A and B are shown apart, each in its own frame.
Chain A
């Protein structure tokens, strides 16, 4: 029997992380993500895990990566300005291929902005925030239940692809309390990184075996005494200035995501079968769209929703297909047009593209979407 519980989004994120096997959390207080740190402070020792409040955002990101290098699944969470500060070590984890989950409960910016007000302004930062070309996976939940289930998925993707995964929440779902059906253990998949069987069989630390794009990963203390560095490195883990290796390394990091899109991409389609209008939205905004579609359908307007669950990589191919069938795509997001750029990139002239965005710290209401859909 599944249990139905009242849970807050941030709380569900903590429980999802624990269910995924996360046993280390490092963080720094900031709203609207503070409940994640508070939850982990209570829950981690209960499950034999560790919690530490670090001196700043940069240090929390570093500590999470350090713990993962030692073989323990780890997470850090932040919001707004903290996400900017995490970018340095996020890039380190991309290049060193150390998995961990970075939660960003977005708030309105730039800078200190509107603390605790809803926003989705960090979408492009999640893709391009850290310097240099790098892989990016970012998931966005629309319900409290997804704060739980998608957090597990974030850990699974991180472990499988040896890469940091960003859980891009927003204040709307982070602070929402609603019904959650907690899946039973065994009802969801748990992925763990592949660890070399023994130091003797390990081979070079960053060598990929059997055509895979993802090297195995031994935890510190395993016996394979390898080197981890944020410098471009060869398969043995040591720095190199070889242009060929640099090229191959950066391209492999990107390819391990791009060549596994079928496995990674996730989205949801609602009422699109006969739709003339497709609302493209994600995260908390999808809740407004859901009510808007109900209202529109009641009036006989055939609207539906395309909701990317993985914002990065972006399910552009599917959106392109949909854009051939509808008259217009309305992009709704709590920013000044970020996923809109992706929509424009993939839709081109297939159909009309409209946009509704908000940067004032308030939530897009269903009425506002309805009015926009009706606009000639």
Chain B
């Protein structure tokens, strides 16, 4: 099955990808392709916009209209694409640095506007491309090359931020659980407003090594053993949920989608 998916949705001339052995991004990229396939979208109508960093390289490998932009700005570029041509299916792939540090403001405001973009965040808790500096999602106390004595910043919960800012669909998946994550992405694309799917990835090369997390296999095992479904989490205490990944659809709400609202303005102004 996988090879068929590659044939259809990837630019094989540009593979193999640059990601390290064991990196979670390849699995997540496949999940995106699978979700698009499951939805039966026309590739010509899909625009994939990415930022800068390891995650952003996905754009180059996938056979859509692809735009590899500047660091953190993927959502801002995507907003222009979607406003200009609402009929296009716009998907953003960002890293944790893109989405929650340099581009944090764009995430908040895309969510606030409820523009019909699907934001998929490959969160590996570290700046991998630049060599392992701590990011806004690096857990408290963990190490990075710029947090040699342990991170003293509080990490962001990207899903909570997005939900609070107005995203009308939020979810969390993991690289380990490809089936569930694919479903969540699919649901996010199908959702009309702004959707955010945070995908816990792994970075065995930097994050794993710096923090003695073992091999890539060990890190996936950790994801498996520490994932708690939204349903199950409801019955657990805060103490019990500490250090766990709550996975599944986290929130869903209603608000008119931005480009549809703007279309109504055009029609009203033009007296149609």
List residues of chain A with CB under 8 Å of any chain B CB: 23-24, 26, 45-46, 48, 50, 52, 54-56, 58-60, 62-72, 74, 88-89, 92, 199, 219-223, 225-231, 238-239
**Residue among B67, B79, B105 with most chain A CB within 10 A:** B67
The 7 closest A-B pairs by CB, nearest first: A66-B80, A63-B80, A62-B76, A59-B76, A67-B84, A55-B109, A66-B77
Q: A355 CA to B265 CA in the complex, in Å? A: 51
Contact A52 to B83, CB < 8 A, known contacts A45-B270, A227-B59: yes
Q: A124 CA to B65 CA in the complex, in Å? A: 35
Contacts of B213 in A (CB 8 A): none
**B13 smallest CB distance to A (angstroms):** 8
Q: A201 CA to B60 CA in the complex, in Å? A: 21
**B48 smallest CB distance to A (angstroms):** 9
| A225: contacting residue among B64, B68, B69, B270, CB under 8 A | B64
Contact A227 to B68, CB < 8 A, known contacts A24-B84, A59-B76, A67-B81: yes
| Segment at the A interface, from B39-47, B172-180, B233-241 | B39-47
**Residue among A45, A70, A223 with most chain B CB within 10 A:** A70
Known: A50-B83, A226-B66. 6 other contacts (CB 8 A): A48-B270, A70-B80, A227-B66, A230-B70, A238-B14, A238-B60
Name 5 interchain pairs, CB-CB below 8 A, sorted by A: A55-B109, A59-B76, A70-B84, A74-B80, A225-B43
CB–CB B76/A63 < 8 A:
yes
CB–CB A58/B76 < 8 A:
yes
Q: A52 CA to B73 CA in the complex, in Å? A: 16
| B76: contacting residue among A54, A69, A238, CB under 8 A | A54
Contacts of A72 in B (CB 8 A): 84-85
CB–CB A59/B270 < 8 A:
no
Q: A26 CA to B14 CA in the complex, in Å? A: 34
CB–CB B76/A225 < 8 A:
no
CB–CB A225/B65 < 8 A:
yes
| A70: contacting residue among B63, B73, B85, CB under 8 A | B85
Q: A92 CA to B69 CA in the complex, in Å? A: 8
**B45 smallest CB distance to A (angstroms):** 6
CB–CB A220/B70 < 8 A:
no
B residues 69-126 in Cβ contact with A at 8 Å: 69-70, 73, 76-85, 87-88, 105-106, 108-109
Contact A69 to B108, CB < 8 A, known contacts A24-B84, A239-B60: no
**B193 smallest CB distance to A (angstroms):** 16
CB–CB A71/B85 < 8 A:
yes
CB–CB A88/B265 < 8 A:
no
**Residue among B83, B87, B106 with most chain A CB within 10 A:** B83
CB–CB A64/B270 < 8 A:
no
Residue B222 at the A interface, CB < 8 A?
Answer: no
Contact A52 to B79, CB < 8 A, known contacts A89-B73, A92-B70: yes
Contact A66 to B68, CB < 8 A, known contacts A45-B266, A71-B85, A225-B43: no
Q: Using a Cβ cutoff of 8 Å, how many contacts connect chains A and B? A: 140
CB–CB A221/B60 < 8 A:
no
Contact A66 to B78, CB < 8 A, known contacts A220-B47, A230-B70: yes
CB–CB A63/B43 < 8 A:
no
Q: How large is the interface on B (under 10, 10 to 19, 20 to 34, 35 or more residues)?
A: 35 or more
**CB-based nearest B residue for A236:** B13
Residue B269 at the A interface, CB < 8 A?
Answer: yes
Q: A55 CA to B85 CA in the complex, in Å? A: 20
**Residue among B45, B68, B105 with most chain A CB within 10 A:** B68
Residue B140 at the A interface, CB < 8 A?
Answer: no
CB–CB A24/B80 < 8 A:
yes
Contacts of B262 in A (CB 8 A): 45, 50
**B162 smallest CB distance to A (angstroms):** 15
Q: A375 CA to B44 CA in the complex, in Å? A: 67
**B103 smallest CB distance to A (angstroms):** 9
CB–CB A56/B105 < 8 A:
yes
Contact A220 to B270, CB < 8 A, known contacts A69-B81, A225-B63, A239-B60: no
CB–CB A63/B83 < 8 A:
yes
Q: A228 CA to B49 CA in the complex, in Å? A: 9
**Residue among A60, A220, A221 with most chain B CB within 10 A:** A220
Q: A50 CA to B88 CA in the complex, in Å? A: 15
**CB-based nearest A residue for B108:** A55
**Residue among A66, A71, A92, A231 with most chain B CB within 10 A:** A66
Contacts of B108 in A (CB 8 A): 55
CB–CB B85/A59 < 8 A:
no
Q: A23 CA to B85 CA in the complex, in Å? A: 11
**A56 smallest CB distance to B (angstroms):** 6
CB–CB B80/A67 < 8 A:
yes
Q: A104 CA to B81 CA in the complex, in Å? A: 23
**A291 smallest CB distance to B (angstroms):** 42
Contacts of B82 in A (CB 8 A): 66
B residues 249-272 in Cβ contact with A at 8 Å: 262, 265-266, 269-270
Q: A50 CA to B265 CA in the complex, in Å? A: 10
**B81 smallest CB distance to A (angstroms):** 4
**CB-based nearest B residue for A92:** B70
**B166 smallest CB distance to A (angstroms):** 13
**CB-based nearest A residue for B258:** A52
Contact A65 to B77, CB < 8 A, known contacts A225-B63, A227-B66: yes
| B269: contacting residue among A45, A223, A229, CB under 8 A | A45
**CB-based nearest A residue for B80:** A66
CB–CB B83/A221 < 8 A:
no
**B220 smallest CB distance to A (angstroms):** 29
CB–CB B43/A71 < 8 A:
no
**A50 smallest CB distance to B (angstroms):** 5
